């Protein structure tokens, strides 16, 4: 990107409300400020993340976040060249709050407006953090998503495969709950797995026997539940070591599935074109075992591996600002007619992933 731009990014599509200021100078992006509110709403008592779903809550926080981001950046609204807002997919109330706020801001100040796909924000993050060149292969793996994307341009995403049921982050959370571990489940299972034997329990590797890059994690959770119940039935409880072994077995299964499917996604990408590297994003990328398993696959193919810092892997507005900037430079614009889209698949041309059902895969 050769145009110098200062972008205000806004994100409110799920639990968090976020605002960020990103500046692009001589083609290099710099995050001047990134404010995320709502992550304090982690309540172990409820066995999961308590969502700030209320549109009202987002609406109340958006102006505060924006003011805080501008202040941290040392800028005021007239310094901003573009307002980029997540306009989908996500919870309609939250997305609408963000879009309305951004429209108001743009109309009142005369600054151009652009609506950004939340998933495009994640998918373009390796360019924000590492200036990764197109085309690259992206694994987006989080609480709500799991998909392989071949990213060829700022608006070109080809989905090579994804989960047909649960996302791995969700499987970690639910497994932690089944084993009486704290939430969020990812770090809890990872810590417990450290002292466990991954080979003691034979857990399935769903869909590994099938061609392609689709994945399934729902059956793994059910298998874990059965193994737990069998242990409880024969010992009247769960030994601490058994719990560690179950966690280790579960984590190893997730690692195996993700790395084998990544291997296939790389091969599939390479049949189409040369790729510059492999990138991963999403909260699950914070898991060290998973990260090193994926890294190992990248080195098998002699490809660079990029994993942005966790603060930019999870929901944030800097990625929205950056993705908006790339699309703006490419000529896209939105006006007052911008609408919130609760459903907005990144790749609307690839065949859908089918789940268990008449025509689908067996989970």
What residues make contact with other proteins under the rule CB under 8 A?
14, 46, 48-51, 53-56, 89-93, 142-145, 162-167, 169-170, 174, 177-178, 218, 221-222, 225, 342-343, 345, 352-360, 362-363
Report, in Å, the least distance between residue 43 CB and other proteins: 8
CA distances from 213 to 101, 225, 261, 262 (A): 39, 26, 5, 7
Report, in Å, the least distance between residue 55 CB and other proteins: 6
Report, in Å, the least distance between residue 269 CB and other proteins: 20
Report, in Å, the least distance between residue 222 CB and other proteins: 4
Three-class SS of 3-17: CCEEEEEEECCCCCE
Helix H or strand E encompassing 288:
helix 288-300
For 39-73, b/e burial (b = at least 16 CB within 10 A) is eeeeeeeeebbeebeebebbbebbeebbeebbeeb
| Of residues 193 and 353, the one with the C-beta less far from other proteins | 353
| Of residues 49 and 149, the one with the C-beta less far from other proteins | 49
| Of residues 153 and 354, the one with the C-beta less far from other proteins | 354
Q: Are the C-beta atoms of residues 239 and 250 closer than 8 Å to each other?
A: no
Report, in Å, the least distance between residue 120 CB and other proteins: 17
Q: Are the C-beta atoms of residues 324 and 84 closer than 8 Å to each other?
A: yes
DSSP code, position 45: G
| Of residues 132 and 215, the one with the C-beta less far from other proteins | 215
| Of residues 22 and 213, the one with the C-beta less far from other proteins | 213
Calpha distance 284→223 (Å, rounded): 21
| Of residues 62 and 306, the one with the C-beta less far from other proteins | 62
Report, in Å, the least distance between residue 80 CB and other proteins: 30
Calpha distance 220→284 (Å, rounded): 16
Q: Are the C-beta atoms of residues 37 and 65 closer than 8 Å to each other?
A: yes
Calpha distance 193→207 (Å, rounded): 23
Report, in Å, the least distance between residue 88 CB and other proteins: 11
Report, in Å, the least distance between residue 46 CB and other proteins: 6
Dihedral pair phi/psi, residue 211, rounded to 5°: -65, 165
| Of residues 49 and 293, the one with the C-beta less far from other proteins | 49
Helix H or strand E encompassing 25:
strand 17-25
**Two structure tokens written together for 247:** 């966690």
| Of residues 309 and 360, the one with the C-beta less far from other proteins | 360
Q: Are the C-beta atoms of residues 320 and 88 closer than 8 Å to each other?
A: no
């Amino acid at each position: 990107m050769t145009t110098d731009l200062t972008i205000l990014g806004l994100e409110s599509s799920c639990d968090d409300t976020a605002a960020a200021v990103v500046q692009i100078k001589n083609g290099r992006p710099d995050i001047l400020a990134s404010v995320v509110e709502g992550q304090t709403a982690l309540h172990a008592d409820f066995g999961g993340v308590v969502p700030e779903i209320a549109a009202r809550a987002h609406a109340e926080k958006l102006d505060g976040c924006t003011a805080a981001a501008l202040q941290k950046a040392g800028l005021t609204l007239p310094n901003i060249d573009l307002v980029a807002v997540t306009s989908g997919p996500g919870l309609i109330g939250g997305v609408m709050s963000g879009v309305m706020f951004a429209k108001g801001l743009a109309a009142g100040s005369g600054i151009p407006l652009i609506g950004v796909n939340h998933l495009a924000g994640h998918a373009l993050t390796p360019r924000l953090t590492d200036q990764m060149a197109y085309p690259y292969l992206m694994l987006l793996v989080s609480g709500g998503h799991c998909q392989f994307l071949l990213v060829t341009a700022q608006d070109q995403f080809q989905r090579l495969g994804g989960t047909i049921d649960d996302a791995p982050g969700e499987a970690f959370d639910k497994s932690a709950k089944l084993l009486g571990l704290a939430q969020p489940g990812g770090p809890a299972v990872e810590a417990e797995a450290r002292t466990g034997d991954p080979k003691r329990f034979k857990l399935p590797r769903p869909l590994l026997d099938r061609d392609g890059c689709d994945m399934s994690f729902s059956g793994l959770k059910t298998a874990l539940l059965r193994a737990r119940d069998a242990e409880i039935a024969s010992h009247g409880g769960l030994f601490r070591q058994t719990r560690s072994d179950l966690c280790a077995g579960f984590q190893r299964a997730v690692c195996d599935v993700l790395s084998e499917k990544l291997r296939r996604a790389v091969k599939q990408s390479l049949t189409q074109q040369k790729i510059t590297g492999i990138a991963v994003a999403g909260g699950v990328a914070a898991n060290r075992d998973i990260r090193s398993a994926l890294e190992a696959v990248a080195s098998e193919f002699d490809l660079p591996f990029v994993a942005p810092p966790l603060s930019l892997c999870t929901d944030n507005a800097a990625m929205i600002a950056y993705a908006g900037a790339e699309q703006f430079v490419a000529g896209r614009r939105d006006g007052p007619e911008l609408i919130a889209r609760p459903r907005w698949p990144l790749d609307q041309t690839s065949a859908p992933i089918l789940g268990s059902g008449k025509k689908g895969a067996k989970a």
